[in-house]
A and B are shown apart, each in its own frame.
Chain A
Amino acid sequence: MSTLDILLQQLANGLILGSFYSLVALGYTMVYGIIMLLNFAHGDIYMVGAFLGLAILTTIGSVLGFGWGGILAAMCCSMIITGLLGVLIQRVAYVPMLSAPRLSILITALAVSMVLYNGAMAITDGEYRAFTVDLGFEGIEMGAVFITYTQVALVLATAVLMVTLYLFVHRTMWGKAMRAIAIDKDACRLMGINVNAVIALTFFVGSALAAAAGVMAGVYYGSIHFFMGFVIGLKAFTSAVIGGIGSIPGAMLGGLVLGLLEAFGTQIPFIGSEWKDVFAFAILILLLVFRPTGILGKTEIERM
């Protein structure tokens, strides 16, 4: 492979990895934007979304098949159920803690995370589960570079979800209310906005996006595991910080940047792919030291 081929191949890999990071980072950043909570359970929500997606696909696969139709249906169902799970977690675990000191709710988030991954471990016996799909291996060939249609479809699906989210947040009253709540909750109450309902909606949307990423990761990697949410949770958090935490465009951008950096980082001499996590978190540390407001910066971003 020529250098150009390698770069192109890594560009494709980075875009896919970045898509997953972006989708999960969005939930992080939206929740942080409205209630200043680093929802450490968010990575586990992604894992639950993947398992729910697999369970649904296994159930409906006999009817809809294990191709794109079945996967899309399973993904949508998983998004809705995981979204509702997110709302349930918010109501049960976070709402009672909203007026407590910030550290309390952070610890609550860690507890929720443990409940979710220990629960998933118990149910799955801690084993990998094959995410069996039937998509074939056709793709686009460009010289030595080969990109499967599955990879293209995953990136496109991410783009569709992001555009939809952007339109929702900027064009609908509920979306505008989400942004306004990030700015001033009491002012929102005085406008007749049901703040708790909008917070619940934010959890729904964030969890649903994480579920979509979970199902897509299952399709892409071919197997899922109860611990899969841990590292991506940290990576998504890193992405959100890279983009500027609290900013929706920042999360989208930060995820892609991190995905691409990781992919290209594996090509740096003496830094193999086993170093990619070190590479990612070194970037987080450097960023926190030199530019804690992230790429989009504090002055330019809306808090959502």
Chain B
Amino acid sequence: MSETVLTLENVETYYGKIHALRGISLSVKQGQIVTLLGANGAGKSTTLRTVSGLVRCAKGRVIFLGKDITRIDPHHIVRRGLIQVPEGRRIFKGMSIQENLELGSFTLKDDAERRRRMARVFDIFPILEQRRNQDASLLSGGEQQMLAMGRGLMTDPKLLLLDEPSMGLAPFLVQEIMRIIRRLNEDGVTILLVEQNAKVALKLADYGYVLETGRIVMESDAASLQQDERIIKAYLGT
């Protein structure tokens, strides 16, 4: 259970002249849910975009399953089993729900395997099966999040990066999404969860990192973070 899936070593990333990440080091172990907390603009999404290869880091290394993926193209990273469900869902509006899911398995050649994976996604998100031929833009916010996660699952991920899955959702839907994340984790998917909603994230996670202006300012197991005075004050409220 202790094999390391993902390691970031002193990763520094720039957006133009903005020094967005100022040396991030973290690791995610097999079977864990690790959460990355922080305020808006702290660098959470940039960290995930760097891991997925959408932006290139200026310094440091990203290691996935023992291989250096720092300079590898995003679509090759996906083929290795590292999948990101991006912030804002980014589903393909104007295409059907089924087509969205199929695109999640773009790398797959085997149609039988594609159907098997889709059946599994429908098992987790029954609402998607009921509405499979509808345009994705007709889904509600919570359903769009489910579609985005389902699309990510179609690649059969070893590590799933989730960027703000609870954003803009009603509280009962947040609970539903968190329940699904736990289920995926129990099915063997390792998860790196980025959240602004620290309360729900820490309830779910094994381990947490706190990000401030591009640096990790605190890290600990989730239980201790929940008790930490500074965390309570800054992120959990009273």
Contacts and interface: CB of A to CB of B under 8 A. Distances in A.
Interface string A159-181: 00000000000000100110110
Interface in B31-90: 52-54, 73-75, 78-79, 83-86, 90
Which of B53, B92, B93 has most chain A Cβ within 10 Å?
A: B92
B106 A190 contact: no
Interface stretch (B97-105, B172-180, B191-199): B97-105
A267 to B, nearest CB: 39
Contacts, number: 67
B126 interface: no
B107 A192 contact: yes
B151 interface: yes
A119 to B, nearest CB: 34
Contacts of A186: 54, 86, 90
Contacts of B53: 189
Given A192-B78, A194-B75, A183 B155 contact: no
B78 A302 contact: no
A176 B154 CA distance: 15
Contacts of B151: 191
A184 B103 CA distance: 12
B234 interface: no
A47 B103 CA distance: 36
Q: How large is the interface on A (under 10, 10 to 19, 20 to 34, 35 or more residues)?
A: 10 to 19
A180 B99 CA distance: 9
Given A173-B103, A184-B90, 19 more contacts: A173-B106, A176-B102, A176-B103, A179-B95, A183-B93, A183-B94, A184-B92, A186-B86, A188-B103, A189-B53, A189-B54, A190-B78, A190-B83, A190-B85, A191-B104, A192-B74, A192-B78, A193-B75, A302-B95
Grouping DSSP codes into helix (H, G, I), strand (E, B) and loop, the A interface class, with mixed when no group exceeds half, is: helix
Contacts of B84: 190
Given A180-B103, A184-B90, A192 B79 contact: yes
Contacts of A183: 92-95
Contacts of B91: 187
A183 B96 CA distance: 13
A221 to B, nearest CB: 38
A48 to B, nearest CB: 31
A191 B95 contact: no
Contact of A193 (B52, B85, B86, B103): B103
Contacts of B79: 192
A78 B71 CA distance: 38
A53 to B, nearest CB: 34
A303 interface: yes
B52 A180 contact: no
Contacts of B104: 191
